[in-house]
Structure 1
Amino acid sequence: MTASTLRRHNAQSAHRTVDIALTGVFAALIAVLAFAPPIPVGGAGVPITLQTLGVALAGLALGPWRGMAAAGLYVSLGLLGLPIFAGFSGGLGVLAGPSAGYLLSFPLTALITGLLARAVLRRSPPRWWIPLLFCAAAAGSVFATHPLGILGMSFTLDVSLQEAFLMDIVFWPGDLAKSLAGAGAAALLHRTYPTLLARR
């Protein structure tokens, strides 16, 4: 093995180690945010939580694949029984509850958010990062979190999609606020660590 090959191999190993560490850190962040006291709203039994802020941050900060991995790791550990979902719940039993669709949407939400965030950060000047990252986070919520959440409530509560949609509306203002907060935090993070989304 030549010296240049060895250096390249060592660099790739270091990158993989960093990726694994960041995935674990952001999965833990989502879990920590889930421990914030949930706010009950409506009659569907799905509270407002900060989990979705953590999912948005994973996509905005890590990009599509590592963000999806972090959200997927969080969901997988919760389904395996760790009490890391809202209300200190965990296990496969949550899939029978009205929050099932929202939880299962998290990896897809992070993927969509991360794809859009990566495009924003590579093609836009920093002064536009916050509004465009806000749009990226909101898009992940609109195209993944809410549709799957509505489907989940329709199935588990045995209601029509229209009824589930009306139950879901109450979460939109909070999600927009969390998208804005995530965009601000991610913009600051990328200004501080400009190579966070550098090509591997």
Structure 2
Amino acid sequence: MTGTTGRQHGGSARGRVFTARDLALVAVFAGVMAALGLVPAWTAPGFSVPITAQSMGVMLAGGVLGGRRGALSMLVFLALVAIGLPVLAGGRGGLGVFAGPSVGFLVGFPVAAYVVGVLSERLHGVASATGRLAAALVANLVGGVVVLYVFGVLGMAVNLRIPIDEATTLLWIYVPGDLVKVVVAALVVRAVHAGYPGLLDRAPRRKQTSSV
């Protein structure tokens, strides 16, 4: 008897092409981002980057869809922004927003969603409900806050022509709200996966097949 080890039919989720279902989910989460843009933005006095709900959409896209599809949904959303649709918070849109101080955050959306998604894929197998919630919190904090802040700081430093350390100090006002978004997004993601356990874009497990 000889044993062979192979992948499940269809190959790795990371290697396969996007299906119609994948693209539909991508479109849905691009729409979720646009819907979050309807939540009024607030710009604190002395600050140039508004506080919006849309960074939570980044966490939701990555956490629900996984890295590839989450990042693609953000690229679709940015394409809508670029062609002039007013889907950013405050009804903003058009190429001009990419020349403003928010550009770092915008460019960081796909990367942050990808990081949230990859971490979610790798931590998704945690057995306990508490562990799964903790995993979602970690993924959101690392991808949706830390990674996004790195891009945001660079964007502010370049467009406002200020040093990196000064741009970093401007982030403090965003931290409390973003921590709330981390928790809310984690709760939503866990609820979605509880109802639709096969939704996350993960590579299928290898299985043993044997032949005589």
When the two structures are superposed, what TM-score results if normalisation uses the length of structure 1? 0.89
Match of 2:106 among 103, 108, 125: 103
**Partner amino acid, structure 2, of 1:148:** F
**Partner amino acid, structure 1, of 2:120:** A
1:174 and 2:185 correspond: no
1:187 and 2:190 correspond: yes
> Which protein is richer in helix relative to its size?
1
Contact 2:58 2:144 (C-alpha < 8 Å) held by counterparts = no
Partner of 1:136: 139
What per-residue deviation string (whole Å, max 9, x for no partner) do you get for residues 68-113 of structure 1? 0111110121012111112111111011211111111000000000
1:77 and 2:104 correspond: no
When the two structures are superposed, what TM-score results if normalisation uses the length of structure 2? 0.84
What per-residue deviation string (whole Å, max 9, x for no partner) do you get for residues 17-51 of structure 1? 11010000000001110110012225221111010
Identical-pair percentage: 36
1:145 and 2:148 correspond: yes
> Which protein is richer in strand relative to its size?
2
RMSD between aligned residues = 1.9
Moved over 3 A (4+): none
Structure 1: 5+ residue runs without aligned partners?
Answer: 1-7, 10-14
Contact 2:157 2:167 (C-alpha < 8 Å) held by counterparts = yes
Contact 1:67 1:111 (C-alpha < 8 Å) held by counterparts = yes
Higher relative contact order (CA 8 A, sep 6+): 2
Choose 1 or 2 for highest CA Rg.
2
Counterparts of 2:78 and 2:146, CA distance in 1: 19
Partner of 2:51: 48
Superposed displacement of residue 63, structure 1: 0.4
Structure 2: 5+ residue runs without aligned partners?
Answer: 1-8, 11-17, 205-212
